[in-house]
Amino acid sequence: TQLLEQSPQFLSIQEGENLTVYCNSSSVFSSLQWYRQEPGEGPVLLVTVVTGGEVKKLKRLTFQFGDARKDSSLHITAAQPGDTGLYLCAGARQAGTALIFGKGTTLSVSS
């Protein structure tokens, strides 16, 4: 059973378009992280959200944690080719414990 469902699995868009990636679960998490990974490299942490309803912005990226702490979304405004990569969401039941990962969203942005 996949505890974190991530959608869509693949996304191919043109430069300048907006997009949203979703991460859903029936379980409650104490925190949720979003990572970006390039081929052959380890995941790089983008953001951590810990409070239900929390919204964080990182330049053109907006992250939201659901009120019930069961789901999260990543919205990218005016996507650029440099945004291309694998986006992973991961949840923690408690601070410092192993993360549960979604299977990822592969984003391709063409110019």
**Cβ neighbours of residue 13 under 8 Å, at least 6 residues apart?**
19, 79, 107, 108, 109, 110
96 binds another protein, rule: CB under 8 A: yes
102 binds another protein, rule: CB under 8 A: yes
101 binds another protein, rule: CB under 8 A: yes
In the complex, minimum distance from the CB of residue 50 to another protein, in angstroms, rounded to a whole number: 6
44 binds another protein, rule: CB under 8 A: yes
Place of tokens 């923690």: 92
21 binds another protein, rule: CB under 8 A: no
In the complex, minimum distance from the CB of residue 83 to another protein, in angstroms, rounded to a whole number: 19
**Cβ neighbours of residue 83 under 8 Å, at least 6 residues apart?**
60, 76, 107, 109
* Rama region for 59: left / alpha / beta (φ>0; ψ in -120 to 50; rest): left
In the complex, minimum distance from the CB of residue 17 to another protein, in angstroms, rounded to a whole number: 26
Exactly one of 24, 48, 62, 73 binds another protein (CB under 8 A); that residue is 48
Interface residues with another protein (CB under 8 A)?
A: 30-31, 33, 35, 40-45, 48, 50, 88, 90, 92, 95-99, 101-104
